[in-house]
């Protein structure tokens, strides 16, 4: 259950409407998901968050769109963000992630979580060769 109630008639606020219109245009969709509707309670938060999401996730970069979404899914799993796991899985599938790729992603996330816990539990010292890479 949400800790706040979404504001009625959000798009009566011109700042919110401008962001929502940009989301629609960028995503080529009329759908404004709950994330944006709920954070619209603060126009600054909405504008800043959308600007960052648009810049990192929607603008062309060295990482292809499906891989970006898959990374977002992995981090969302690690951070236990059910909402983001669902929304970015939907986005990844819409951008071309196959069921086989999704299954492989879950295997990788599961493996990383397990080996991270082992390494943290034992406090395995970092190999010198890896330390040298930090410099």
- Same fold flag, 11-59 and 62-124: yes
> Within 10 Å of residue 65's Cβ, how many Cβ atoms?
17
Distance between CA atoms of residues 85 and 72, nearest Å: 8
Across all residues in the chain, what is the average pLDDT?
A: 95
The fraction of the chain above a pLDDT of 70, given in percent, is 98
CA distances (Å), 74 to each of 25, 32, 42, 78, 102, in order? Answer: 27, 23, 28, 6, 10
Instruction: Give me the mean pLDDT over the 84-107 stretch.
Output: 98
| Token pair recorded at residue 29 | 């969709």
Contact 35, 57 (CB under 8 A): no
84 pLDDT band (50/70/90 cuts)? very high
Does pLDDT of 101 surpass 80? yes
Candidates 3.40.50.2300, 1.20.1290.10, 1.20.200.10, 1.10.3720.10; correct CATH number of 11-59? 1.20.1290.10
119 pLDDT band (50/70/90 cuts)? very high
Does pLDDT of 6 surpass 90? no
Does pLDDT of 124 surpass 70? yes
Is the pTM for the entire model greater than 0.85?
Answer: yes
Q: Which CATH class is domain 62-124?
A: mainly alpha
Q: Determine the pLDDT at residue 132.
A: 76
Distance between CA atoms of residues 85 and 73, nearest Å: 5
Instruction: Give me the mean pLDDT over the 73-99 stretch.
Output: 97
Candidate from 5-9, 35-39, 65-69 with smallest mean pLDDT: 5-9
Residue boundaries of the structural domains of the chain: 11-59, 62-124
Does pLDDT of 134 surpass 90? no
Rg over CA atoms, the chain? 19
> Within 10 Å of residue 31's Cβ, how many Cβ atoms?
8
Distance between CA atoms of residues 10 and 19, nearest Å: 11
């Amino acid at each position: 259950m949400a800790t706040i109630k979404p504001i009625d008639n959000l798009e009566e606020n011109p700042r919110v409407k401008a962001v929502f219109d940009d989301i629609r245009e960028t995503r080529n969709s009329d759908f404004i998901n709950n994330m944006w509707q709920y954070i619209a309670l603060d126009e600054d938060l909405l504008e800043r968050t959308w600007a960052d999401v648009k810049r990192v996730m929607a603008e062309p970069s060295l990482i292809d769109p499906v891989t970006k979404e898959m990374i977002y899914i992995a981090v969302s799993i690690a951070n236990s963000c059910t909402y983001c796991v669902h929304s970015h899985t939907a986005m990844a599938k819409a951008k071309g992630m196959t069921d086989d790729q999704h299954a492989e992603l879950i295997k990788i996330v599961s493996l990383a979580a397990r080996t991270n816990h082992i390494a943290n539990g034992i406090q395995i010292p970092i190999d010198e060769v890896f330390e040298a890479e930090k410099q």
